[in-house]
């Protein structure tokens, strides 16, 4: 299983408000409800319920057809997106961890959605480099946080103009605001790379960007126009 995310217990908003968002909003039913409950009980990192309800609202609004997910985990978010994307839509999802993608494959089979999901196994940077340009209208990036910076150029290359990139867990329990000296050494790379990433995207003229305090911070980026972000590959 994937190493537990220590930030799961560091809400970026008042904990009582967070609990209200998770408990009082409409709950899932069926298999997705079972998977959400299993993950929460067993400390498996999945998108929290406030992000679940936001994605349901967003997908019912924009109805994406071609979705890419970077970081399959146990398949929960991919299965959720299948349920709420365009009726002719398809999800492609990437993961390199056999413990995770085997669970995801089992979930997709149990929900009979294998024909609507393509699971690509391997290193995300290698797979992203091979994907054709302007393919996806929605990308969800929920993988190694230190890799967001270097994954971003390919995400923008393969995202259609007007498409949306959603990036999860960018606030790190609020610790991205800490000075480098106050961050434990084992987390300094994540701290540095997330701050470098946010410095590029939050005010870039080719992008429309908003940062929401859902979960551990959900960043939404709309590709307004094509731009060459290849300078981010050099780091």
pLDDT of residue 10: 77
The neighbour count for residue 227, using CB atoms within 10 Å, is 14
Report if residue 78 sits inside a domain: yes
Report if residue 30 sits inside a domain: no
- Spacing of C-alpha 72 from chain mean position: 9
CA distance 223 to 204: 10
Report if residue 175 sits inside a domain: yes
Number of domains in the chain: 1
What whole-number percentage of the chain has pLDDT above 70? 96
Residue 16: exposure state from Cβ atoms within 10 A (0-12, 13-18, ≥19): exposed
What does the pLDDT look like over 17-68, one tens digit per residue?
Answer: 999 999 999 999 999 999 999 999 998 889 999 999 999 999 999 999 999 9
pTM, two decimal places? 0.95
User: Which one-letter DSSP state was computed for residue 215?
Assistant: T
Q: Are 41 and 205 in contact (CB under 8 A)?
A: no
What whole-number percentage of the chain has pLDDT above 90? 88
CA distance 132 to 135: 6
Report if residue 173 sits inside a domain: yes
pLDDT of residue 6: 66
Report residue 11's pLDDT band, with 50, 70 and 90 as the boundaries. confident
Report if residue 83 sits inside a domain: yes
pLDDT of residue 5: 61
Report residue 145's pLDDT band, with 50, 70 and 90 as the boundaries. very high
CA distance 192 to 159: 25
What does the pLDDT look like over 68-125, one tens digit per residue?
Answer: 999 999 999 999 999 999 999 999 999 999 999 999 999 999 999 999 999 999 999 9
Annotated binding site: 47, 77, 95, 142
User: Quick one: tokens of 37?
Assistant: 């409950």
What's the CATH number where 175 sits? Answer: 3.40.50.150
Q: Which residue in 83, 86, 89, 84 sits closest to 66, CA to CA?
A: 89
Work out the average pLDDT over 139-153: 96
Mean of per-residue pLDDT scores for the chain: 94
Report if residue 168 sits inside a domain: yes
pLDDT of residue 234: 66
What does the pLDDT look like over 60-69, one tens digit per residue?
Answer: 999 999 999 9
Strands 90-95 and 66-70: parallel
CA distance 64 to 137: 6
How many residues belong to the chain? 235
Report if residue 89 sits inside a domain: yes
- Look at the block and give the residue holding tokens 């126009």: 225
Q: Which domain holds residue 124?
A: 55-223
3-state DSSP of 113-163:
CHHHEEEEECCHHHHHHHCCCCCEEEEEECCCHHHHHHHHHHHHHHEEEEE
Annotated binding site for S-adenosyl-L-methionine: 47, 77, 95, 142
Q: Which residue in 158, 36, 19, 20 sits closest to 107, CA to CA?
A: 36
pLDDT of residue 2: 43
pLDDT of residue 235: 57
pLDDT of residue 135: 97
pLDDT higher at 25 or 184: 25
Report if residue 201 sits inside a domain: yes
Residue 113: exposure state from Cβ atoms within 10 A (0-12, 13-18, ≥19): middle
């Amino acid at each position: 299983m994937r190493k537990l995310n220590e930030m799961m217990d560091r809400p970026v908003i008042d904990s009582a408000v967070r609990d209200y968002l998770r408990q009082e909003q409409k709950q899932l039913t069926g298999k997705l409800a079972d998977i959400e409950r299993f993950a929460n009980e067993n400390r498996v990192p999945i998108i929290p319920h406030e992000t679940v309800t936001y994605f349901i609202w967003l997908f019912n609004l924009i109805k994406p057809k071609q979705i890419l997910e970077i970081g399959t985990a146990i398949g929960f978010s991919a299965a959720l997106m299948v349920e709420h994307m365009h009726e002719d839509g398809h999800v492609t999802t990437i993961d390199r961890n056999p413990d995770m993608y085997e669970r995801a494959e089992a979930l997709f089979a149990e929900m009979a959605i294998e024909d609507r999901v393509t699971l690509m196994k391997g290193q995300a940077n290698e797979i992203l480099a091979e994907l054709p340009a302007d393919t996806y209208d929605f990308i969800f990036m929920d993988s190694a946080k230190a890799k967001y910076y270097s994954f971003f150029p390919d995400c923008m290359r393969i995202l259609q103009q007007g498409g949306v990139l959603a990036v999860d867990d960018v606030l790190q329990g609020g610790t991205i605001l800490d000075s480098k000296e106050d961050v434990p050494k084992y987390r300094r790379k994540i701290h540095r790379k997330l701050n470098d990433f946010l410095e590029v995207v939050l005010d870039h003229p080719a992008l429309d960007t908003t940062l929401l305090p859902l979960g551990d911070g959900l960043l939404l980026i709309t590709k307004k126009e094509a731009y060459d972000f290849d300078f981010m590959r050099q780091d």
